[in-house]
Amino acid sequence: MTPVPAGTPVDLRSDTVTRPDARMRDAMARAEVADDVLDGDPTMRTLEESVAHRLGTEDALWVPSGSMGNLIALCVHLERGDRFFAPDRAHVLDQEVGTAAWLAGGLPRVLPWSEGPGTPSPSDVTRAVAHGGPYFALRDRLLCLENTHNAAGGTVTTVEQHRRLVGAAHAAGLLVHLDGARLWNAAVALGVSPADLAAGADTVLVCLSKGLGAPVGSVLAGGTAFVREARRVRKMLGGGIRQGGVLAAAGLVALERADRLAEDHHHARLLAAGLAERGWKTGIPQTNIVVLPADDAPHTVSLLARRGILTLPTDVGVRMITHGDVSRRDVLRVIESFPPPV
Ligand SMILES: *Cc1c(COP(=O)(O)O)cnc(C)c1O
C-alpha cells in the first residue's frame, strides 16, 4: 500500500475547499461595482437576475452564505413560535447553530425519510400538520426541503417527489422553502433544470461556493415582495455589503460551471466502487458525497489524514466530497492509499 505522498493531501472534507482559479480571479478584478446598500451594484444585480432566471423565480438576492440565506427565509416566513417542518438531519436543523429557533423563532418538527434517504413523503407532511385545534395549538407555517440532502449523503429528491411534497404542503396551508445549497448537483444528476426542481417552492436558496467553486456567495430566490423583505432582513443581520460586485463576478463565472458537476459525480462513484472493492460497506453515491459507515469516525478520519486523505467525521461515519480541485488521479491515489476497514 503506497500512501499519498506527504505534503500533497487530497482534500475531500467538503466541496467548499475549492480555490478560485485565474479566470475567476480575473473576472473579480475587472468587475464593475457600485455601493449595493445605497443604490445597487450592477454585477450583483446581473448575478441575481441570472439566478432568478435559472430558478424560474421573479427575483433573487445575493447573500454572503447559505446559512444566512436559509435564516433570512425563515425570518421572513415565520413569526415567533410558529412551527416549521424539515426532513431529519436537515442542514437548517442541525448545522446552523440553531438560528431557526434562536433568531427566526421557529419551533422545528422533524419529518422522517419515508421516501428514501433525505426525502419525506407527502403524507408525512399532511399527517404532521395540525389542522385546526384549540386556540393554544401551534401555527404550522413552513415546510423546508433540502435537495440534495447533505447529511443523507448527497441524495436527490426527484422532480415528481418534489412536486408532490410541494402540493401536500400548499394543500395543508404551508409555505415551502427549498434549501438547494447543492440544487445544481441534483439537477445535473437527474438531467433536469434547476427550475424543474424548484417548481412551486415559495423560496429557494442556492450556493455558489460549493461545487461551483466561487469563494463566497449564495443566492436566495423568490417572489418580488419576498425579496424586498429579504433585503431588509439581510441588512438587519449585517449582510448588506457595498461593492459586492467583486464577489458576484466570481458567482457569475461559477454559474457557467454547473455542467462540470457531472465529473464530480463520476469521481464519487469511482471512489465508492474502489472502496467497496477494498471491503468498505458503501452504496453508490447519487451525487458528489460518499459516506463510509464507521463506528469510530474521528479515529478513522485521523488515520486517513496520516495517509494524506482529508475527510470529515459525521455521526454515522466518514464523509468524503468530490469537487473541482480533485482529479481522477487524486481519486485513484486515495483508493490506493486507503486502509482496510477496521
Ligand atoms: C453548505 C450548506 C448550506 C449553507 O452553508 P454555508 O456554509 O453557510 O454557505 C445550507 N444547506 C446545506 C444543505 C448545505 O450543505
User: Considering the entire predicted model, what is its pTM?
Assistant: 0.96
Question: Where do the structural domains in the chain lie, given as residue ranges?
Answer: 10-19+259-337, 31-255
pLDDT for the residue numbered 131: 77
C-alpha cell at 311: 475527510
CATH 3.40.50.2300 is the classification of domain 31-255 = no
SS3 at position 50: helix
C-alpha cell at 338: 486507503
pLDDT for the residue numbered 315: 86
User: Whose alpha carbon is nearest atom 4 of ligand 1?
Assistant: 66
C-alpha cell at 199: 417548481
pLDDT for the residue numbered 100: 98
Query: What's the CATH class of domain 10-19+259-337?
Result: alpha beta
* DSSP sequence for 89-154: T-HHHHSSTTHHHHTT--EEEEEP-TTSTT---HHHHHHHS--S--TTS--EEEEEEESSBTTTTS
pLDDT for the residue numbered 6: 53
Give per-10-residue mean pLDDT for the chain (342 aa).
64 97 97 97 98 98 98 98 97 97 97 97 95 88 98 97 98 98 98 98 98 97 98 98 98 96 98 95 96 92 96 94 97 94 78
In angstroms, the CA 187 to CA 308 distance is 32
pLDDT for the residue numbered 122: 98
Mutation test residue for ligand 1: of 149, 179, 219, 312, the one with most atoms within 8 Å of CB: 179
Q: Which residues pair with 177 in a beta bridge?
A: 144, 203
CB-defined site of ligand 1, < 6 Å:
65-67, 70, 91, 146, 150, 179, 181, 207, 218
User: Whose alpha carbon is nearest atom 6 of ligand 1?
Assistant: 66
Ligand 1 geometric centre to CA of 68 (Å): 9
Helix axes 183-190, 261-277, angle to 10 degrees: 80
Per-residue model confidence as pLDDT tens digits over 178-226: 999 999 999 999 999 999 999 999 999 999 999 999 999 999 999 999 9
pLDDT for the residue numbered 304: 95
Ligand 1 geometric centre to CA of 214 (Å): 14
* DSSP sequence for 313-326: E-SSEEEEE--TT-
Ligand 1 geometric centre to CA of 123 (Å): 27
